[in-house]
Amino acid sequence: MRSKLFVPGTRPELFAKALDSAADGICLDLEDAVSEARKDEARDTVRQLLAGADVAATRKTLIVRVNAMDTPHFERDVAAVALPGVHLINLPKPQSAAHVRAAAEAVEKAERAHGVVAPIGLLLNIEAPAALRMAAELALAHPRVKGLQLGLGDLFEPLGIARRAPQAIQQAMFAMRMAAGEAGLYAYDSAFADIRDAEGFRAEAMLSRNLGFLGKTCIHPSQVAIANEVFRPTDEEIAHALKVVDAAREADAKGVGAYVVDGKMIDIPFVIRARDIVESARGLGLLPG
């Protein structure tokens, strides 16, 4: 999921466009993009979309961002949107491992009520200092957790940290990536609010990509193509990865533990990375199956 496009739950006129877009995933938002007075409306509108034929036919990753667990909306949100075809519930502001486990139980209860067969995962927003500090604990709280998503606006603004400060961004990204890595999960990048600054979006996406993030959140369709480009393996990366995978196969047959490919010493960590690149390229249709 190189790109995930946010769509407010109160904007049904945008649903079809989002489903037809080049985004790998769409996130139907019931939280920040919806005013308090329209929460019920948004929930019903999203539920109707998820039960429809357009969603059943899509191949995109489908995500719903619900309201936080300390609001009166959380349980109703989950009960309404934990439907067949939904891949992830995006949980904002988790405060503890117990919070995460309670959210997983709520999703499981809703799944039973709706006859959902494929378990719905949790994508946890890391958007508070405490959440960043205990990010690995949150990630390991329940098997339904599939990834961590950074929320730089919520994390920085209340603390007076400049949203575009490179040092702060890199440190937050690195800390969360290490936590996700400890749990064996993916890390997903934050939204970038200045939709006019395409180069700023690209630079932040490149930073997160170089730190091992899976993709970036998009709040406008114009950001999707950039995210898809940045998080696509380059032709050079694919070619080198194929060489490494072939060399690893030959080395295994000969019982060799380390070897050289294109002048670089290769051992197990590099082979793992090469295999991930090849798998990603195949998933994007850049290589034969």
pLDDT tens, 31-87? 999 999 999 999 999 999 999 888 888 899 999 999 999 999 999 999 999 999 999
What is the number of domains present in the chain?
Answer: 2
Residue 36 lies in a domain: yes
Q: Same domain, yes or no, for 193 and 277?
A: no
CATH number at residue 26: 3.20.20.60
Residue 19 lies in a domain: yes
Residue 269 has pLDDT above 70, yes or no: yes
Q: Same domain, yes or no, for 99 and 184?
A: yes
pLDDT for 289: 67
Provide the CA 212 distance to its chain's centre, in angstroms.
12
Pull the structure tokens for residue 94: 């988790």
d(Cα 117, Cα 20) in Å, to the nearest integer? 26
Q: Same domain, yes or no, for 175 and 159?
A: yes
**Prediction pTM value:** 0.94
Residue 9 lies in a domain: yes
d(Cα 10, Cα 2) in Å, to the nearest integer? 25
Pull the structure tokens for residue 65: 């961002």
Q: Same domain, yes or no, for 167 and 258?
A: no
The answer to whether 146 and 125 are in contact (CB under 8 A) is: no
Q: Same domain, yes or no, for 248 and 152?
A: no
Quick one: pLDDT band at residue 6, thresholds 50, 70, 90?
A: very high
Quick one: pLDDT band at residue 110, thresholds 50, 70, 90?
A: very high
Q: Same domain, yes or no, for 187 and 267?
A: no
Counting residues of the chain whose pLDDT is more than 70, the rounded percentage is 100
| Among candidate residues 190, 207, 230, the one where a domain is terminated | 230
Average pLDDT over residues 193-214: 97
Q: Same domain, yes or no, for 65 and 143?
A: yes
Q: Same domain, yes or no, for 144 and 266?
A: no
Q: What share of the chain is helix, strand, coil (3-state, %, to 5)?
A: 50, 15, 35
Residues 6+ apart with CB under 8 A from 66: 30, 31, 73, 74, 77, 78, 81, 89, 90, 91, 92
Residue 102 has pLDDT above 80, yes or no: yes
Q: Same domain, yes or no, for 143 and 250?
A: no
Q: Same domain, yes or no, for 7 and 77?
A: yes
Residue 121 lies in a domain: yes
Task: Give the count of beta carbons closer than 10 Å to the beta carbon of residue 42.
Answer: 25
Q: How far is CA 68 from CA 21, 77, 93, 194, in A?
A: 28, 10, 6, 25
| Among candidate residues 213, 230, 247, the one where a domain is terminated | 230
| Among candidate residues 230, 248, 274, the one where a domain is terminated | 230
pLDDT tens for 90-101 read 999 999 999 999
Q: Same domain, yes or no, for 269 and 131?
A: no
Order of strands across the sheet that contains 186-188: 186-188, 145-150, 121-126, 88-91, 61-65, 25-29, 3-8, 216-218
Q: Same domain, yes or no, for 184 and 207?
A: yes
Residue 24 lies in a domain: yes
pLDDT for 155: 97
Residues 6+ apart with CB under 8 A from 253: none
Answer positive or negative: Cα dihedral of 23, 27, 28, 32: negative
Residue 288 has pLDDT above 90, yes or no: no
Residue 289 lies in a domain: no
Residue 288 lies in a domain: no
Domain holding 279, by residue range, is: 235-283
Average pLDDT over residues 222-232: 98
pLDDT for 256: 86
